[in-house]
Every structure is written in structure tokens, then in C-alpha cells.
Amino acid sequence: MPRSAETASFKFNHTMLRVKDPQASLKFYTEVLGMDLVTKSEFDSFTLYFLAFEHGPTATTPENRFGREGILELTHNHGTESDPAFAGYASGNADPGRGFGHIAITVDDVDAACARFDSLGVRFQKRLTDGKMKHIAFILDPDGYWVEILPNTFKV
């Protein structure tokens, strides 16, 4: 169905994940996956971190952040990182809380990316050698959210 005039300006801007320890999550998303922290918004009881892959000539700023696509928002509710009773968030891939599945990134070379993740000690949910789909992998972020790793050219 073609987009209508009413929906012509709609974009998928971002998705949000709650995180227990923002420092561990920021390290994972910036150093392991190569995303850029584009903005940070601090409030009394929570902090929002907005990350993206910066590929264009224009940097993402607080002013233009909502005009682009492909943003990952990490929400940290203050205190979770040091609360021994905090059990973590549901990743969406196990009961209770099944629903959300994963985020996905594409890479030029899945084998090389997975070898790099291995060398960095990243946890895998599914390695390239597991299951029937030998061209995709799933890694886990510090909170147990799944990140699918796909080749840039992929036919379903």
C-alpha cells in the first residue's frame, strides 16, 4: 500500500531499551558495536542516552535528533546499577515477559564481526555455526537484550 499524504512525513525514529548499568551498556554499544552517543538527557530519577551510527555529513544533535531514523535510546532508572535486589529487565525472549525480540545491525562481513565479538568476550545467543541459519548471529548486550548481526546483503 502506498504511503498517503497524511503519512508521507512519518519515520521510524527510535526504539528504547531499559538498562541496569549505563556505563556497561554505553561501553557495549559504543566500543563493541561502534555506535556514537549523540545526546544525553539527565532528569531527577532517570537518564536517557541516544545512540546512532553517524554516517552522514550532518552530526545528530538534540535539535535534529527526532528528524532522523535509526536511533537507539537507552533509559537508565537511577539506582538500578547498585541495587542488589534488582533482578534486571525482561529481554522479551523468555517467560515471563516474552514479547520484544531483538534489534539488528548489518555488517560488511559477519564472520569478521563475530570473530571480533569473540575476541572482545561478547556473549553469544546464537553463533554462525548454530542452527539452520548459518549467515546470522545473535549477541547479547549487558542486559541480555539480543542483537542480531546480519550481512549488508541478505535475501530472506
Q: Indicate which residues carry an active-site annotation.
A: 148
Q: Which residues pair with 48 in a beta bridge?
A: 41, 75
CA 15, 20, 22 angle in degrees (round to 5)?
A: 75
Contacts of 72 (CB under 8 A, 6+ apart): 14, 15, 17, 29, 35, 50, 51, 52, 103
- Collapse the DSSP code of 36 into the 3-class scheme (helix H, G, I; strand E, B; otherwise coil) and give the result: strand
